[in-house]
């Protein structure tokens, strides 16, 4: 078939019955733009050059047929387009990604083609705008004429089409060249997942047709300077202005922010482009943008106009800065308040598909967890993520990736410097107005050379990028930026909870830019979506066997280390169900400890913890490691352990000194709190008990009591912490502990793991009898409430509540909760969908499903 043509009318009009412009199955009613404006190319026809040939003059001819070509979304790498056209079985399942795709298909260029109708008018100018590069390189053609080429995943480009447009049918064609992340400035997933078979070649950012009069405006930006007392802000508005004509032009360029109007005269020579700077605007009592834990997220709207050309952007008024502590560690401040980064490493979709609804669900997970920052290492997402982060109050730390062309500085050519600079300029222009930007890493595992650093700094400063610029995510330095103040010492694989309370390697001191405890095992229902029954069974029967849904890198290829620790600490699994229930406890306690340790030691004056990036928060493709929620968006022990630690008002236990700590993430003290701490044997005998009244400090933590060392008893015991205010329980935290602690051997630490020479004895949990937990449930706006009541005579450990039959994610206020005999708790479940109450299903460590 041939696609209905796009239509360029007085300025530009699209009149077509169109396929969806994104990978989500959203019907597109067609687009019409009357008069000057910008229209995104909504979809493409795609074909391999092995069939279509390499002749761009022929393929871009309006008379060239495209029978047999595939219709693909607007933002679609080659693999994404093939998947959208159902050319493969489910590539998430088993080894299909390895076995069902022929990598040789992507050793040749692929073509993207789009026809449209144009009605060129005198005085109207049309440009083709690429909002990012074509991976790895693009060769662009219109109506048989070669427009030029692009190189690299990120640089923006514009091509003037005005003299090339024909009345009636036109054809645009783009040839995408094969990609190699070690040769090209592209996007790679390193050891996060298997590589995409096409190395993400193709179109991955929007391509637009922009029509205006002789003068156009673009890239409006606002530089904000906020007073320390937040009483006023000074705004400097800038915008790019371009004369498309062959005659001098004089224009009044105007800018509007709310009721404020600014104007600036500009004179442009033929073909000239410049940046217009407006007089400074003072805003008294500004509505200040805050991270979610500190406050609200108001946004302002800026609109800049010159004649019939208009460009708009949202922005927020906030101040972000960083400094080094006396210990040389990186510390961030937001609106002049110390900001503990409680973050996670972000993974884009493996095939770089545009999936706005899925993206929104993932950002809701981030907000629900209490994670306040995402690190984007070399996978700079499109505008949807930036806008969601602004709206949800989630800070972002973008930057370039390690281990590929980006950090092979000694191999760079002059063209490479140009591409790297253009890439940084493009990303800076996209990021500069977003209040969620906390900083930018110009290096990841390494530090840039002097010339590379200067290339990056020139691009960032030219774009008025005012957030902190960071030399590296590792403990490296550059000539101008100096020391990074970061550490990247691991771990990346399993370690026990008490590891995080050490002040060495990845423990809670300073800023750890990527650390985590490796294997994260989804629940059985989720495992069945991407593993065969045999692969699932191998998880517990053959943990030394390399697994395709682990990493190819040898140290991450098996579950042997995790399974060995699980057996020594919790007891040898008897079957799959036993393995999974113990794995959930291990994931829960490990992730909780990581965030709790950093939260506690943020207040340590001698060696403060200033930030931690959990590695990683999500997956590009289904894996058995490095995530807080799995690729199906399902939440298990890994999620709820982290969520428990990240509650805004929280009571927690310290593995190193038995202290009980109150932590608050807000900006005001919370007085009048009662903390109750009880240590019991697994059969309920009280070993120790204390109650105190305390105040949770603002944006800090404080030790409020210390439990005594357990004597006269050996084995597994439980600690229950309750936080109450005016008789109402506002936090509950339960630990399963041992009188014999895990013993770490730091002398044998590697970059990925610290060995243990002795294990905590948690095998007593196996003696817990099965319990009876009753529930009642009812619908509430946006979801349901479920009340749990332990009617048995023993502790019900890690009760997991689920709703059957809900399509899409369910976000629970808490889960994997533990109740003593006679205790109750009410959980809230948020989900989309109407109708009646879904069936409630309960499971847990000693709770029947």
Let me know if 280 is a catalytic residue. no
Query: Both tokens of residue 509?
Result: 């001191």
Name the residue with tokens 């191998």: 538
Name the residue with tokens 């991976």: 135
Q: Put the strands of the sheet holding 817-819 in their side by side order.
A: 817-819, 796-803, 840-843
Secondary structure (3-state) at 772 = coil
Contact 29, 21 (CB under 8 A): no
Q: Report the run of H or E that residue 749 belongs to, with start and end.
A: none
Contact 316, 289 (CB under 8 A): yes
Q: Put the strands of the sheet holding 469-470 in their side by side order.
A: 469-470, 440-441, 395-399, 373-377, 341-345, 609-614, 510-515
The full 3-state SS of 475-499, as one line of letters, equals CCEECCCEECCCECCCCCCCCCHHH
Contacts of 605 (CB under 8 A, 6+ apart): none
Let me know if 407 is a catalytic residue. no
d(CA 557, CA 437): 35
Please tell me which residue in 514, 535, 601, 761 is annotated as part of the active site. Answer: 514
d(CA 38, CA 240): 16
Cα dihedral sign, 798-801-804-809: negative
**Residue 705 pairs with which residues in a beta bridge?**
660
**Phi, then psi, of 816 in degrees rounded to 5:** 55, 45
Strands 440-441 and 469-470 come out as parallel
**Residue 688 pairs with which residues in a beta bridge?**
679
Cα 637 off chain centre by: 20
Contact 801, 830 (CB under 8 A): no
Estimate the crossing angle of helix 533-541 against helix 576-601, to 10 degrees: 70
Residue by residue, DSSP assigns 621-658 as: S--SBS-SS-TTS---HHHHHHHHHT-SEEEEE-TTT-
Q: Report the run of H or E that residue 581 belongs to, with start and end.
A: helix 576-601
d(CA 416, CA 728): 61
Query: Both tokens of residue 762?
Result: 């948690």
d(CA 610, CA 607): 9
- Identify the CA nearest to 543 among candidates 492, 494, 498: 494
Secondary structure (3-state) at 420 = helix
Question: Where would I find the H helices in 300-382?
Answer: 356-369
* Cis peptide preceding 616, ω within 30 of 0: yes
**Phi, then psi, of 831 in degrees rounded to 5:** -160, 160
Query: Both tokens of residue 103?
Result: 């990598």
Q: Report the run of H or E that residue 4 belongs to, with start and end.
A: none
Please tell me which residue in 445, 578, 656, 823 is annotated as part of the active site. Answer: 445
Q: Which residues are catalytic?
A: 445, 514
């Amino acid at each position: 078939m041939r696609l209905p043509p796009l239509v360029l009318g007085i300025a530009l009009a699209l009149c077509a019955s169109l396929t969806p412009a994104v990978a989500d199955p959203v019907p597109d009613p067609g687009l019409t733009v009357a008069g000057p404006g910008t229209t995104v190319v909504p979809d493409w026809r795609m074909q391999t050059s092995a069939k279509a040939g390499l002749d761009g003059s022929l393929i871009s001819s309006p008379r060239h047929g495209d029978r047999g070509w595939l219709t693909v979304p607007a933002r679609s790498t080659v693999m994404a387009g093939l998947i959208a056209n159902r050319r493969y079985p489910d590539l998430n399942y088993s080894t299909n990604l390895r076995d069902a795709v022929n990598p040789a298909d992507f050793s040749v260029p692929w073509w993207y083609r789009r026809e449209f109708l144009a009605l060129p008018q005198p005085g109207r100018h049309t440009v083709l705008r690429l909002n990012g590069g074509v991976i790895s390189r693009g060769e662009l053609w219109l109506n048989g004429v070669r427009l030029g080429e692009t190189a690299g995943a990120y640089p923006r480009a514009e091509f003037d089409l005005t003299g090339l447009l024909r009345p009636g049918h036109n054809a645009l064609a783009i040839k995408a060249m094969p990609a190699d992340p070690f040769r090209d400035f592209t996007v790679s997933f390193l050891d996060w997942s298997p590589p995409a078979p096409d190395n993400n070649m193709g179109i991955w950012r929007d391509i637009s047709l922009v029509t205006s009069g002789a003068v156009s405006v673009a890239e409006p930006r606002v530089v904000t300077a906020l007073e320390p007392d937040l009483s006023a802000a000074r705004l400097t508005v800038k915008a790019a202005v371009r004369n498309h004509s062959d005659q001098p032009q004089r224009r009044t360029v105007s800018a509007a922010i709310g009721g404020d109007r600014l104007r600036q005269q500009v004179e442009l020579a033929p073909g000239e482009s410049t940046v217009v700077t407006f007089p400074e605007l003072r805003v008294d009592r500004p509505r200040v943008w805050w991270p979610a834990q500190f406050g609200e997220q108001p946004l302002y709207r800026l609109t800049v106009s010159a004649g019939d050309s208009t460009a708009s952007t949202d922005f927020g008024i906030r101040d972000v800065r960083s400094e080094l502590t006396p210990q040389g560690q990186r510390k961030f401040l937001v609106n002049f308040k110390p900001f503990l980064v409680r973050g996670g490493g972000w993974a884009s979709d493996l095939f770089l598909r545009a999936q706005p609804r899925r993206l929104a669900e993932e950002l809701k997970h981030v907000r629900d967890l209490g994670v306040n920052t995402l690190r984007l290492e070399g996978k700079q997402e499109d505008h949807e993520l930036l806008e969601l982060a602004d709206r949800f109050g989630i800070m972002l730390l973008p930057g370039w990736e390690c281990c590929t062309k980006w950090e092979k500085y000694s191999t760079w050519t002059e063209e490479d410097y140009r591409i790297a600079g253009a890439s940084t300029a493009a990303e800076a222009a996209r990021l500069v107005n977003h209040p969620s930007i906390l900083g930018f890493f110009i290096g990841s595992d390494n530090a840039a050379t002097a010339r590379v650093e200067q290339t990056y700094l020139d691009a960032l400063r030219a774009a008025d990028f005012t957030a902190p610029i960071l030399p590296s995510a590792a403990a490296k330095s550059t000539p101008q930026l100096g020391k990074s103040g970061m550490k990247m010492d691991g771990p990346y694989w399993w370690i026990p909870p008490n590891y995080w309370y050490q002040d060495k390697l990845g423990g809670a001191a300073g800023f750890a830019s990527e650390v985590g405890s490796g294997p994260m095992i989804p629940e059985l229902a989720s495992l069945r979506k991407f593993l065969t029954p045999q692969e699932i069974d191998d998880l517990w029967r053959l943990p030394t066997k390399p697994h395709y849904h682990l990493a190819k890198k040898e140290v991450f290829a098996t579950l042997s280390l995790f399974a060995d620790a699980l057996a020594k600490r919790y007891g040898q699994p008897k079957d799959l169900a036993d393995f999974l229930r113990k794995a959930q406890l291990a994931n829960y306690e490990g992730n909780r400890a990581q965030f709790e340790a950093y939260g506690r030691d943020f207040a340590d004056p001698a060696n403060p913890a200033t930030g931690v990036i959990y590695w990683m928060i999500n997956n590009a493709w289904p894996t058995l490691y490095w995530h807080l929620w799995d690729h199906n968006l399902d939440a298990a022990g890994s999620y709820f352990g982290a969520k428990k630690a990240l509650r805004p008002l929280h009571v927690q236990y310290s593995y190193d000194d038995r202290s009980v700590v109150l932590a608050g993430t807000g900006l005001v003290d919370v007085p009048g709190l009662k903390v109750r701490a009880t240590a019991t044997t697994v059969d309920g005998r009280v070993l120790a008990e204390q109650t105190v009244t305390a105040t949770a400090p603002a944006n800090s933590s404080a030790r409020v009591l210390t439990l005594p060392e357990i004597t006269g008893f050996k084995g597994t015991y439980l600690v229950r912490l309750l936080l109450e205010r005016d008789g109402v329980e506002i936090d509950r935290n339960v630990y399963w502990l041992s009188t014999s602690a895990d013993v770490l051997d730091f002398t044998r630490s590697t970059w990925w793991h610290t060995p243990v020479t002795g294990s905590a004895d948690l095998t007593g949990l196996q003696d817990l009898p099965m319990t009876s937990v009753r529930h009642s449930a009812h619908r509430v706006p946006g979801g349901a409430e479920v009340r749990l009541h332990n009617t048995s005579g023993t502790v019900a450990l890690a009760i997991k509540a689920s709703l059957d039959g809900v399509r899409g994610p369910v976000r629970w206020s808490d889960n994997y909760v533990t109740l003593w005999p006679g205790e109750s708790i009410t959980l809230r479940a948020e989900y989309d969908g109407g109708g009646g109450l879904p069936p409630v299903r309960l499971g847990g460590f000693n709770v029947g499903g």
